[in-house]
Amino acid sequence: KNEVEQSPQNLTAQEGEFITINCSYSVGISALHWLQQHPGGGIVSLFMLSSGKKKHGRLIATINIQEKHSSLHITASHPRDSAVYICAASSNFGNEKLTFGTGTRLTIIP
């Protein structure tokens, strides 16, 4: 079982819909990252959080440390949000390893 699990693997939605992508992890972490990868391949860091909630424009990331769960929400989704979204956990075991989920492929239909 992967230490970081994402769901769903694929998600197709209509423009304007509210989107939720989930990430569960089984390891102790110092931080949880959300990344975005567009079809061209480049990877951009969206959020890094260790507690609570962060918001940037239409994107919101939350984390529940007790439940070892994080969610990425997109409000008023748009076709340009179509991308692969990846969560990653930074270890807190005295090293600085990063473990990734396998990603969620999001497609927003106009």
Partner 1 sequence: EAQVTQNPRYLITVTGKKLTVTCSQNMNHEYMSWYRQDPGLGLRQIYYSMNVEVTDKGDVPEGYKVSRKEKRNFPLILESPSPNQTSLYFCASSKRAWQPQHFGDGTRLSIL
Residue number, 41 or 110, with CB nearest to partner 1: 41
Residue number, 3 or 17, with CB nearest to partner 1: 3
Report the nearest approach of partner 1 to the CB of residue 102 (Å): 4
Q: Is 23 in contact with 70 (CB distance < 8 Å)? A: yes
Residue number, 48 or 60, with CB nearest to partner 1: 48
Report the nearest approach of partner 1 to the CB of residue 30 (Å): 4
By the criterion CB under 8 A, which residues form the site for partner 1? Answer: 30-31, 33, 35, 41-45, 48, 50, 86, 88, 90-91, 95-103
Report the nearest approach of partner 1 to the CB of residue 38 (Å): 12
